[in-house]
Amino acid sequence: MMRFGLPLIATGSLAMAAASLYYATYSVRSQWLGRTYWRGRRDTNAVALTFDDGPSPDTERILDVLAAHQVSATFFMVGREVESFPGIAQRVLAEGHEVGNHSYSHPMYLFQRGSKTLDQVRRAQDVIAETIGVTPLLARPPYGVRTPAYFGATRALGLRTVQWDVAGFDWKRITPGQIADNVLRNAHPGSIILLHDGDSAGKQSRKNTVDALPLIIKGLRDRQLPIAPLSQLLPDIYNPAKGKRTDD
């Protein structure tokens, strides 16, 4: 009996360890490795729109839609893309939107050495600050994957991690209507909504996200869910100045 019991116990322990590792690193709500904000205050009806992987040429079209509807959003920027499109990054800030750190080149932190992870986060901070004049206070890791090294880097740089509780799944090949439906079916007071204004692989247009955005804005307003800056949903960690100015 013991001869068969020990391997079974070992196998079960490995499975539990693997499941725990997956939850700790991949689950957007996990707090195991470090403090993560995945939704905002629930004492307000407001929700926040966030965009990842830009800036890109599609960011300009998204900015046009946001301006037409007088909506503020938060853009988690990739440092390499900021270098490629500095004028668009500057426009994001100039039009009153908030900016966060989304790494320098969008790697999977799970497969990196700690020093490389720190370099990714720090390099993105430097590029964003040099380009737009504001140092981000918020970070979102690529793919939402966090590791001990990632949290070590964000603590060293004074960054807080913000994930999401609603996704448009606009990285899939789906229609604008489907993207909007994914958001509207799941949005609640305090929701942090994930969309994309760029593609880290440089292979996919965000045209469908652009076309979905007016549907999302109208649908949220029809449901009495006003769209607010992320800073208003997370007042305890982020001030309305949208970041720390480099000339302060």
> Which residues does the annotation mark as catalytic?
52, 196
7, amino acid identity: P
Determine if the peptide bond prior to 235 is cis (ω within 30°): no
The Cα-based distances of 103 to 23, 40, 80, 228 in angstroms read 21, 23, 9, 25
Q: Judge contact between 55 and 82, C-beta under 8 A.
A: yes
CA distance 83 to 177: 32
Distance from chain centroid for Cα 52: 5
d(CA 222, CA 241): 29
DSSP string, 124-152: HHHHHHHHHSEE-SEE--GGG---HHHHH
CA atoms within 13 A on the CB side of 6: 2
